[in-house]
């Protein structure tokens, strides 16, 4: 075989494999990493469930730095992935530019709204879920002070904090809510040492329930709470199993369902905005064998009531991202 | 801000300052011998990983710490071979160390534990326990000084006290021993040391390895003392803050202690208050966090005395034939 022939065969093989991969969905794992035990891990779990149930294949890449967003999205689209699922609000401006260049590819963005004809935007009512865990925190607290550790200081994380504070204040007006953000750069999603230090600082100020919405940083927060015998609340994935006995609950955000549904819909996916809330279990309060001893019947009952009242519109939980202000907490 | 608040902030300051201090002293040894070390971050990271990984596998934190120190010293040796034996650019070698550490730790962690580039959470014997200093309980009743001793100074892990003892030890080695004199000389004028018949390369290797040892302690403290396990990029720029502290301290051990305590204090302060209310003005959190860098620039610009780095810093020594 001459060299030329070898090249041609190789080219043909590449073309074939590209053709076969045409309808595979793609998933771009965001900064923070696939196994952050939180947001990204939840997306990965959803993708794995789809693989198990359908036997299909999908493409996956993990961002290593902020600068790779555009390049990775484009490459994913050019390799023929459809739909391409991107995770996280930080991708919104990039996707806004990339999506029009690939009109035949559908994109799904989680946690942000991108107004393009081939983009489906999935957002969650985190403020409502956080409201419920805020109520539980206030009921579990003996000191009358509860606290919140956020990751990067962005409106989405303030939305968590604001919902949490409203829930806590709904139980008792006197409750103190301390809130800290880890940082202002994406490194804030991956600094468990600082997370732990923030939690210790809050506990020393009297807090005995800490809610972490901080990606990988949250691991340090939950650890510090366990070390100091305070209660902690996890986020995104069910983190109750990490420290049984000190994990009050987790504010679960079903990113896995969102990814699963997107993969399932394949090329039939509908563009537009989807809001996943308490009714369709897009956000929920995690109850399992690891926290059943900590959750009293009264807590369970009041949380269930509040869930129905939110669904019926009787309780209006203020969404921070609507007007960039929070009635229950100052940042 | 009550007295109790101040004690809590000081307690936090000590925890936050320790990794900075150990890394800063590491940089001090290295730079005093004329080897610029921006690979502090990478060495801490690799030490954090190996100490957590070995502690997780064996269940013994001391073995973990030794593994962390060994890993950090291997990286120090790579830096030494590149910049002393092969006379490469010390900055480039340092950057390479940082990249190598960031990539390698994640890769090995994934291969060993399959938990997505992290080690399992450490418990019990696999973590450093906190120590109570003698008489902490008895003295806590003494007004003012009692709580300061019992709550802020006591109750840290052993590596914190090692870090603080490393300051007088460093001072003694550098300024009271023959080895220290030669080490400082080699950073100022390696030619003179060579003329005196002392090996420049051997001294520099010794300094770089001591830096590796101290970075190893810093990394082990992060992963097995403060946190409970390794996570990707967990040093989060502390190696660079330590470098800033080193410049701020004008390459002197006691100044390094104060610089690191100050930087730790600023971090603790910003963790505690989202805005600092000084009565007349309110200082935003971001400014408090930026202060270490601002102060370093002020020092470098020569407003507060002069910060003169060792004269032969960054230059490979070429023996005249």
Where do the domains of chain B lie, and which CATH numbers do they carry? 3-300 (1.10.3470)
> With contacts defined as CB-CB under 8 Å, which chain A residues touch B234?
190-193
> Looking at the domain assignment, is residue A75 inside a domain?
no
Average pLDDT over residues A295-301: 92
- The 10s digit of each residue's pLDDT in B88-100 is 999 999 999 999 9
B-chain CB neighbours of A41 within 8 Å are 116
Please report the number of interchain residue pairs, chain A to chain B, with beta-carbon separation below 8 angstroms: 72
Residue A78, both tokens: 């050019």
* Contact in structure between A121 and A127 (CB atoms under 8 Å): no
- Reported ipTM: the value is 0.84
Q: Which residue among B116, B233, B272 places its CB closest to the CB of A34? A: B116
Most confident among A161-170, A188-197, A212-221 (mean pLDDT): A161-170
Tell me, yes or no, if B269 comes closer than 8 A to chain A by beta carbon. no
pLDDT digits (tens, 9 = 90+) for A132-158: 999 999 999 999 999 999 999 999 999
Residue A81 falls inside a structural domain: no
How many angstroms separate the CA atoms of A237 and A24, rounded?
25
To test the contact with chain B by mutation, choose from A193, A195, A217 the residue with the greatest count of B C-beta atoms within 10 A, namely A193
Tokens of B269: 């302060």
| Closest residue on chain B to A32 (Cα) | B232
Do B227 and A191 make contact, defined as CB atoms within 8 angstroms? no
Q: Which of A93, A88, A92 is nearest to A151 (CA)?
A: A88
Say which DSSP state A327 is in.
Answer: S
Helix extents (H) in chain B: 3-32, 40-58, 61-80, 90-113, 136-139, 145-147, 158-176, 178-188, 190-195, 200-220, 238-248, 253-272, 285-300
Give the pLDDT score at A2. 61
Split at pLDDT 50, 70, 90, the class of B246 is: very high
E strands in chain B: 130-131, 156-157, 275-277, 282-284
Is the alpha carbon torsion for A296, A299, A302, A305 positive or negative?
negative
CATH classification of the domain holding A217:
3.40.50.2300
Q: Is B58 helix (H, G, I), strand (E, B) or coil?
A: helix
Q: In this complex, do A192 and B231 lie within 8 Å of one another by their Cβ atoms?
A: yes
Digit-coded pLDDT (tens) for A212-234: 999 889 999 999 999 999 999 99
In this model, does residue A192 exceed pLDDT 70? Answer: yes
pLDDT in tens, B204-214: 999 999 999 99
Does some domain include residue A2? no
- Cβ of B121 and A216 within 8 Å? no
Task: Count up the domains in chain A and report the number.
Answer: 1
Of A36, A180, A194, the CB nearest to B236: A194
CB-based contacts of B287: which residues, under 8 Å, 6+ apart?
Answer: none
Q: Measured between CB atoms, which of A41, A201, A219 is closest to B272?
A: A201
Q: Which of A257, A330, A238 is nearest to B285 (CA)?
A: A330
Residue A59 lies in a domain: no
Q: Output the average pLDDT for chain B.
A: 90
Domain that holds residue A148: 126-253+283-323
The answer to whether the beta carbons of residues A221 and A214 sit under 8 Å apart is yes
Strand pairing report for A84-87 and A272-276: unpaired
In a domain, A187, yes or no: yes
């Amino acid at each position: 075989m001459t060299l030329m022939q070898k090249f041609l065969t190789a080219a043909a093989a590449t073309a074939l494999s590209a053709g076969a991969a045409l309808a595979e969905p793609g998933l771009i794992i965001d900064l923070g990493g696939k196994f952050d035990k939180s947001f990204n891990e939840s997306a990965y779990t959803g993708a794995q469930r789809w693989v198990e149930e359908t036997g299909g294949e999908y493409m996956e890449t993990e961002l290593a730095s902020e600068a790779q967003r555009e390049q990775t999205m484009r490459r994913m689209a050019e390799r023929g992935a459809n739909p391409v699922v991107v995770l996280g609000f930080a991708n919104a401006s990039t996707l806004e530019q990339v999506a029009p260049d690939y009109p035949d590819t559908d994109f799904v963005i989680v946690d942000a709204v991108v107004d393009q004809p081939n983009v489906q935007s999935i957002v969650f009512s985190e403020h409502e879920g956080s409201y419920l865990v805020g109520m539980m925190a206030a009921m579990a607290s003996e000191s009358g002070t509860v606290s919140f550790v956020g990751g990067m200081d962005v409106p989405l994380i303030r939305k968590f904090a604001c919902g949490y504070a409203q829930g806590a204040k709904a139980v008792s007006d006197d409750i103190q809510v301390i809130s800290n953000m880890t940082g202002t750069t994406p490194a804030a999603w991956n600094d468990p040492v600082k997370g732990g230090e923030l939690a210790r600082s809050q506990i020393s100020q009297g807090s005995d329930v800490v809610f972490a919405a901080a990606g990988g940083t949250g691991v340090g927060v939950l650890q510090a709470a366990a070390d100091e015998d305070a209660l902690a609340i996890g986020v995104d994935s069910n983190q109750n199993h990490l420290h049984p006995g000190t994990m009050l609950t987790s504010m679960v955000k079903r990113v896995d369902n969102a990814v699963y549904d997107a993969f399932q819909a394949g090329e039939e996916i509908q563009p537009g905005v989807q809001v996943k809330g308490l009714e369709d279990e897009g956000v929920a309060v995690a109850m399992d064998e690891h926290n059943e001893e900590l959750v009293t019947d009264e807590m369970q009952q009041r949380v269930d009531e509040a869930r129905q009242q939110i669904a019926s519109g009787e309780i209006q939980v203020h969404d921070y991202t609507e007007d960039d202000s929070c009635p229950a907490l100052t940042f | 801000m009550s007295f109790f608040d101040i004690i809590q902030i000081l307690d936090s300051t000590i925890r936050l300052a320790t990794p900075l201090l150990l890394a800063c002293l590491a940089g001090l040894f290295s730079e005093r011998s004329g080897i610029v070390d921006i690979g502090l971050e990478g060495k801490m990271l690799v030490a954090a990983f190996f100490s957590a990984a070995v502690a997780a596998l064996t269940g013994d934190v001391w073995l973990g710490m030794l593994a962390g120190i060994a890993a950090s010293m291997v990286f120090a040796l790579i830096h030494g071979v590149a910049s002393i034996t092969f006379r490469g650019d010390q900055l480039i070698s340092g950057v390479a160390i940082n990249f190598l550490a960031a990539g390698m730790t994640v890769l090995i962690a994934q291969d060993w534990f399959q938990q997505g580039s992290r080690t399992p959470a450490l418990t019990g014997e696999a973590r450093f326990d906190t120590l109570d200093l003698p008489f902490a309980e008895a003295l806590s009743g003494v007004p003012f000084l009692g709580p300061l001793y019992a709550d802020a100074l006591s109750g840290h892990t052993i590596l914190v006290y090692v870090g603080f003892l490393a300051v007088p030890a460093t001072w003694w080695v550098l300024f009271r021993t023959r080895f220290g004199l030669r080490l400082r000389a080699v950073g100022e004028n390696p030619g003179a040391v060579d003329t005196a018949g002392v090996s420049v390369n051997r001294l520099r290797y010794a300094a770089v390895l001591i830096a590796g040892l101290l970075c190893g302690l810093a990394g082990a403290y992060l992963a097995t003392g403060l946190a409970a396990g390794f996570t990707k990029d967990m040093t989060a720029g502390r190696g660079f803050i330590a470098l800033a502290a080193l410049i701020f301290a004008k390459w002197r051990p006691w100044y390094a202690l104060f610089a690191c305590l100050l930087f730790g204090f600023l971090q603790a302060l910003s963790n505690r208050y989202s805005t600092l209310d000084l009565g007349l003005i309110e200082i935003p959190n971001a400014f408090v966090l930026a202060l270490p860098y601002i102060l370093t620039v002020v020092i470098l610009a020569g407003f507060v005395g002069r910060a003169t780095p060792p004269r032969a810093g960054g230059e490979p020594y070429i023996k005249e034939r």
